[in-house]
């Protein structure tokens, strides 16, 4: 299980590599989703779901936790004062902290997640590790689509499937199939 989380983390960092500061930060959806914000968001998850809730808080604080701005979405975007290097460093530190928790505890180790519903608060490392794999993989999928919107860089195996011409033909085939339904009501 741990290796799935490691691979998803590496994918998240790879989605940022090669992007300008602007492209890392710019909102690419109506809800503001951006790749650096996704990394910032996952930093909280790694720090607390695989650390703090086991009584193993990180040695550092996250400003958006300390000032409670996380509850207004502050974990989903980078402020002008937060450099990419800082946020990537926090993510790497949070991941290392989570790795230490995973290595130190058994999968059935108990945890309490205070912000979860009272009936679900008491859980285990196995549940939280599964939750982190799902969360990180979901956001990696978001980052993959955002990156493709920014500069055309597609998933890790896109080049193996075809070149630019192949992908354009594939896109056109899908578009043509969709257009057969243009005039149908929703």
Give the separation between CA 132 and CA 124, rounded to whole angstroms: 12
Greater confidence (180 vs 131) lies with: 131
Number of domains in the chain: 1
- Residue 96 placed within a domain: yes
Cα 68 from chain centroid? 20
- Residue 31 placed within a domain: yes
pTM of the predicted structure, to 2 decimals: 0.89
- Residue 151 placed within a domain: yes
- Residue 173 placed within a domain: no
- Domain residues for the domain of 16 are 2-159
Q: For 29-62, write each residue's pLDDT tens digit.
A: 999 999 999 999 999 999 999 999 999 999 988 8
- What pLDDT, on the 0 to 100 scale, is given for residue 156? 64
- Residue 180 placed within a domain: no
- Residue 185 placed within a domain: no
Task: Please report, for the domain that includes residue 46, its CATH number.
Answer: 1.20.120.450
DSSP letter at 70 equals G
- Residue 182 placed within a domain: no
Q: What is the dihedral of CA 158, 159, 165, 168, to 10 degrees?
A: 10
């Amino acid at each position: 299980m741990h290796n799935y989380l490691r691979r998803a983390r590496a994918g998240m960092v790879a989605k940022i590599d090669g992007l300008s500061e602007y492209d890392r930060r710019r909102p690419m959806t109506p809800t503001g989703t951006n790749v650096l914000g996704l990394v910032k968001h996952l930093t909280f998850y790694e720090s607390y779901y695989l650390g703090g809730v086991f009584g193993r808080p990180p040695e550092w604080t996250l400003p958006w936790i300390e000032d409670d701005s996380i509850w207004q979405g502050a974990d989903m975007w980078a402020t002008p004062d937060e450099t990419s290097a800082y946020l990537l460093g926090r993510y790497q530190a949070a991941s290392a902290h989570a790795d230490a928790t995973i290595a130190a505890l058994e999968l059935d180790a108990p945890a309490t997640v205070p912000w979860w519903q009272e009936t679900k608060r008491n859980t285990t490392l196995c549940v939280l590790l599964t939750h982190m794999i799902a969360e990180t993989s979901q956001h990696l999928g978001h980052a993959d689509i955002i990156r493709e919107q920014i500069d055309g860089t597609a998933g890790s195996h896109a080049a193996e499937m075809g070149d630019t011409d192949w992908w354009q033909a594939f896109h056109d085939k899908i578009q043509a199939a969709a257009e057969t339904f243009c005039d149908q009501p929703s």
